[in-house]
């Protein structure tokens, strides 16, 4: 790839952590500094690395459409088969990173609070755009009667209404009047009202920023004061609103806001997967490493509640963490003088991704969740987990007093479900390959994972997974 296409930008497709073959002249300046969009500059979204002595770009764990700069757009797809990113994001409440660049999405399912939050931000921005550029107006025919006609005299009506009755000082007339009370503006206003209701509804915990959004929306409503309400949504039959009849070229900026308004009014959600042309929204980047970890933990917590496990499923990065180091008393004295322990000031933290804590404070199981694609490029179907992951998991098992440890990965090929890796001294190492490649079987795969985790932790009778 040597340069931007004439009249456009270069679009590059890749998967997570792939090296990207882009001519360095498109992303490095003459001082060898990166020419990155300010929104991604300084974030671990794309990396400059050396591969076989050549400076290349490498994607990280963020998937989505990434505007590198004015010349290049990178579309990063998940490297493992994940059937429904949208479901994973919604169920975990996982944060997405919005960029100012717009891309197209497909509508799917029902718009819940998560989708409405995204729609709210997008609609506020779109309405600001149309207010800056000007509301769509049209000419409407008006009619009147009286002593002071203006516009065009309607001779037929004048003769019938007045002349025939001997009234010679009144006339019927008509004129054209520009108005903002158009189907398109009624559609936008109706969507604003739905968003207002979403922001105003009672919540157990008030959300930061909602007041500012309501104030911004109130200011926008003032510009629509002359636009009538249409509670029956009759504007949804208008060909301009539906995109069947083209809008005037100077008002093309109405297209994205009308597409969005229709999704809002119909209560349709969005699909985060790449592709689609139903609506334009800001490009939403997803960190799949954190997403996979959160989804596994949230799913296990739901299954634990459903099955009545007498444990709490905790995040070891938060409430489930413990001190990594102990300080013995007395400390060791290998040369006759007790040594002062650094851990006296900083004991460090053991932070497994998943911690099962029983009512008595014991820990039946700890697990590490890694979104790594084991065996993707290997000739064998089943390969060992990465060495660093195993070492970390064993350290945590020893610290939490367990004689086994569990690594959970997304399945990509080979065996699914539970795999025994081997033993490192006194610690048995297990790996679980979770298959998220099919919407149809995700619930079964999650139930099997929970049954396996429960069996390893001694909470349920172990069973052979059925999803493999």
Instruction: Name the nearest CA neighbour of 236 among 207, 210, 275, 268.
Output: 268
- Residue 58 is inside which H or E element, if any? strand 54-59
Alpha carbons within 13 A on the beta-carbon side of 121? 15
Model confidence pLDDT, tens digit, residues 353-406: 999 999 999 999 999 999 987 655 555 667 899 999 999 999 999 999 999 999
Residues sharing a CB contact under 8 Å with residue 28, sequence separation 6 or more, in sequence order: 34, 35, 55
Token digits for 224?
């629509």
With beta carbons less than 8 A apart as the criterion, state whether 130 and 247 touch.
Answer: no
Tokens of 138: 């049209």
Retrieve residue 183's tokens. 């189907």
Paired residues of 448 in beta bridges: none
The parts of the chain modelled with pLDDT lower than 50 are 1-7, 462-468
Q: What is the dihedral of CA 75, 285, 126, 106, to 10 degrees?
A: 60
**pTM for the full model?**
0.79
Q: Which two tokens stand for residue 25?
A: 């002249």
Count of residues for the chain? Answer: 468
Q: Are 69 and 36 in contact (CB under 8 A)?
A: yes
């Amino acid at each position: 790839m040597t340069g931007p296409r004439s009249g456009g930008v270069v679009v590059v497709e890749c998967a997570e952590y792939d090296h990207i073959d882009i001519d360095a002249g498109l992303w490095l300046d003459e001082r060898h500094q990166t020419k990155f969009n300010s929104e991604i500059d300084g974030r671990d979204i794309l990396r400059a690395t050396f591969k076989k002595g050549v400076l290349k770009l490498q994607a990280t764990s963020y998937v989505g459409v990434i505007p590198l700069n004015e010349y290049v757009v990178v579309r990063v797809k998940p490297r493992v088969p994940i059937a429904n990113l949208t479901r994973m994001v919604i169920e975990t409440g996982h944060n997405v990173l919005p960029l100012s660049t717009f891309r197209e999405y497909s509508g799917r399912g029902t718009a819940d609070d998560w989708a409405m939050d995204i729609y709210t931000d997008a609609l506020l921005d779109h309405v600001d755009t149309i207010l800056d550029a000007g509301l769509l107006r049209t000419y409407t025919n008006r009619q009147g009667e009286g002593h002071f006609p203006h516009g065009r005299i309607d001779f037929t009506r004048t003769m019938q209404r007045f002349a025939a009755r001997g009234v010679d000082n009144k006339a019927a007339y008509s004129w054209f009047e520009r108005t903002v009370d158009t189907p398109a503006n009624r559609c936008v206003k109706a969507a604003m009202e739905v968003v207002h209701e979403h922001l105003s509804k009672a919540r157990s915990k008030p959300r930061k920023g909602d007041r500012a959004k309501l104030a911004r929306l109130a200011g926008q409503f003032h510009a629509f004061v002359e636009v009538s309400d249409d509670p029956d949504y009759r504007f949804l039959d208008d060909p301009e609103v539906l995109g069947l009849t083209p809008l005037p070229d100077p008002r093309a900026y109405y297209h994205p806001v009308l597409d969005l308004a229709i999704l809002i009014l119909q209560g349709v959600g969005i699909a985060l997967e790449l592709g689609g042309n139903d609506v334009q929204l800001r490009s939403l980047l997803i960190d799949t490493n954190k997403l996979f970890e959160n989804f596994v933990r949230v799913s296990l917590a739901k299954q634990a509640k459903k099955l009545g496990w007498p444990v709490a499923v905790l995040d070891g990065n938060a409430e489930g963490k413990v001190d990594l180091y102990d300080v013995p008393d007395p400390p060791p004295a290998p040369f006759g003088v007790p040594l002062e322990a650094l851990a006296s000031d900083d004991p460090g933290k053991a932070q497994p991704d998943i911690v099962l804590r029983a009512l008595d404070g014991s820990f039946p199981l700890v697990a590490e969740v890694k979104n790594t694609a084991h065996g993707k490029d290997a000739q064998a179907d089943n390969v060992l987990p990465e060495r660093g992951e195993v070492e970390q998991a064993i350290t945590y098992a020893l610290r939490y007093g367990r004689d086994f440890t569990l690594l959970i990965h997304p399945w990509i090929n080979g065996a699914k479900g539970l795999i025994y890796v081997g033993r490192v001294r006194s610690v048995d190492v297990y790996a679980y390959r979770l298959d998220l490649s099919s919407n149809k079987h995700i619930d079964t795969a999650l139930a099997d994972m929970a049954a396996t985790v429960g069996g390893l932790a001694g909470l349920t009778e172990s069973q052979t997974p059925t999803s493999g």
